[in-house]
Amino acid sequence: MSAAPDLLKIRAAVQERAEAFRAAEKPQEAPAEGEARRAFRLLGLTEMLAEPRPTAWLLRDYLEAEALACLFGASGSMKSFMALDMGLSIASGLPWQGVDVPQAGPVVYVAGEGFRGLSRRIKAWLLAHHMTGEGLPFHVASEAVQFLDPASVEAATSAIADLAEHPRLIVIDTLARCFGADENSTQDMSAFIAALDRLRARFGCAVLVVHHSGLAEQNRARGASALRAALDWEYRLDVRDDTRVLTCTKAKDHDVPPDMAFEADTMPTGWTDPETGDPIGSLVLRQVDVPGKKGRALTGAKRIALEALRAACGAEGRAHIEKWRAEAYRRGVSTSEEPRAKRQAFQRAVAALVESDHVETEAGFYWPGGTRGTFGEQVPPCSGGREGNKGNTPL
């Protein structure tokens, strides 16, 4: 009689093993989008060195795709304006302060601070760049993301995954509002970094963290040093009177790019205060000479024309005058829509840029000064020159 229970146990064990075997034999279901496991492989040097791996730039020489970056500065340094300027340039594809944007695409901006004033900042930027914003893939989070809270991260990840296209850049503004723990704790900071790394891996994007400088040490970011150790790029924004100076303090795998300096121009938004009727404006960053250094900053039509030339040159490194003209017109080199006025504004800008050596030219083609003195990699034969003809390769 006692053997019956033992027999039942044996049969149950056999059945359990059989079910486990059948489950193992079934083909595995494909993981959900974005959750695919990466196969673990070991690469030999032959495969590693088979071909060069060009850098995938978001902002040429200033920010890579899929990088972790930090922009820090003291209160009032306009670091949020700078991050917004970068993000809108990447979303629109327009050059960022004269810097090429090779991989334009969607941007997600998590505004933990200054959310109420963000709309007028964006409106001012769009008007300054002669854009309406229609169709621009720039998305603003309605609230801060607490990156040490799994539920908050999951909600943000789900919202981003619902976008029509994965973002090229996610901006976290600021670390303090999206941290919710002790910034001086290495353990908490490491957990924050790990959350950002999972976000980067999930969407294949870069992450830019806007952060405050230290209270006692203004030349470093506040909090645990684990953040800086994990960064690919780090930038400090200093205040020098009315000028803001951007300095790269870490470039992990590249040469440190040159400092850049900016001043803020007031830009009307076209809106009025519903209570007072006063016009509403905001600030837009304009590049200027770096204090203490001989600079070549430009304003007005000359700046627009030079940015248009950089865009028109593309991979070829030079542009025909007509291609340059079309791009300059598109960017609003003249405030007038009258053809004659636009033509004159462009011609004056070209003449000034060549005279000041900002632009070089030969045979109807133009390129930014100092970027190339030859076509391709070969020096053209030079049989003579024209004295006083600035910016021109000798003929």
What is the per-residue pLDDT across 31-67, written as a single tens digit (0 to 9) for each? 555 454 556 889 899 888 887 778 999 999 999 999 9
pLDDT computed for residue 50 by the predictor = 84
For residue 383 the two structure tokens come to 């049989």
Round to whole Å and give the CA distance between 251 and 253: 6
What is the Cα 239 distance to its own chain's centre?
A: 22
- Among all chains, which residue has been given the structure tokens 């306009």? 78
User: Radius of gyration of the chain from Cα atoms?
Assistant: 27
If one counts every other C-beta atom within 10 angstroms of the C-beta of residue 160, the result is 22
Residues 6+ apart with CB under 8 A from 359: 306, 309, 350, 353, 366, 367, 368, 369, 391
Mark whether 213 and 351 lie in a shared domain: no
pLDDT computed for residue 6 by the predictor = 55
Mark whether 280 and 364 lie in a shared domain: no
Residue ranges of alpha helices (H) inside 169-319 are: 186-203, 226-230, 300-313
- Out of 245, 265, 288, a domain closes at 288
The answer to the question of residue 163 being in a domain is: yes
Q: What letter represents residue 258's amino acid?
A: P
Mark whether 308 and 175 lie in a shared domain: no
For residue 173 the two structure tokens come to 């503004």
Query: Can you tell me whether residue 171 is helix, strand or coil?
Result: strand
Query: By C-alpha distance, which of 212, 258, 259 is closest to 72?
Result: 212
The DSSP bridge partners found for residue 320 are 365
pLDDT computed for residue 389 by the predictor = 41
- CA–CA distance from 308 to each of 84, 101, 118, 320, 365 (Å)? 21, 13, 27, 12, 14
- Out of 236, 254, 288, a domain closes at 288
Query: Can you tell me whether residue 253 is helix, strand or coil?
Result: coil
Mark whether 284 and 316 lie in a shared domain: no
The answer to the question of residue 254 being in a domain is: yes
Mark whether 346 and 254 lie in a shared domain: no
- Burial of 96 from C-beta contacts in 10 A (0-12 / 13-18 / 19+): buried
Mark whether 228 and 341 lie in a shared domain: no
pLDDT computed for residue 25 by the predictor = 42
The answer to the question of residue 128 being in a domain is: yes
Mark whether 79 and 196 lie in a shared domain: yes
Tell me which residue range forms the domain holding 356: 300-368
Could you tell me the CATH number of the domain that includes residue 323?
1.10.10
Domain count, the chain: 2
Mark whether 204 and 249 lie in a shared domain: yes
Mark whether 63 and 122 lie in a shared domain: yes
Mark whether 334 and 191 lie in a shared domain: no
The answer to the question of residue 389 being in a domain is: no
Mark whether 154 and 211 lie in a shared domain: yes
Round to whole Å and give the CA distance between 237 and 245: 6
- Out of 288, 315, 348, a domain closes at 288
Phi-psi region of 376 (alpha: psi -120 to 50; beta: other; left: phi over 0): left
| 265, 283 contact by CB (below 8 A) | yes
Round to whole Å and give the CA distance between 215 and 212: 9
pLDDT in tens, the chain (395 residues): 444 555 455 455 546 544 544 444 444 444 555 454 556 889 899 888 887 778 999 999 999 999 999 999 999 999 999 999 999 999 999 999 989 999 999 999 999 866 778 999 999 999 999 999 999 999 999 899 999 999 999 999 999 999 999 999 999 999 999 999 999 999 999 999 999 999 999 999 999 999 999 877 778 999 999 999 999 999 999 999 999 999 999 999 999 999 999 999 999 999 999 999 999 999 999 999 888 765 556 677 888 898 889 889 887 889 999 999 999 998 888 877 788 888 888 998 898 888 878 899 988 899 987 654 443 333 333 333 333 444 433 32
The answer to the question of residue 335 being in a domain is: yes
pLDDT computed for residue 16 by the predictor = 58
The answer to the question of residue 331 being in a domain is: yes
What is the per-residue pLDDT across 211-230, written as a single tens digit (0 to 9) for each? 999 877 778 999 999 999 99
Mark whether 284 and 308 lie in a shared domain: no
The answer to the question of residue 49 being in a domain is: no
Round to whole Å and give the CA distance between 174 and 79: 10
Dihedral sign (CA 140, 141, 144, 150): negative
Query: By C-alpha distance, which of 76, 133, 116, 123 is closest to 268?
Result: 123
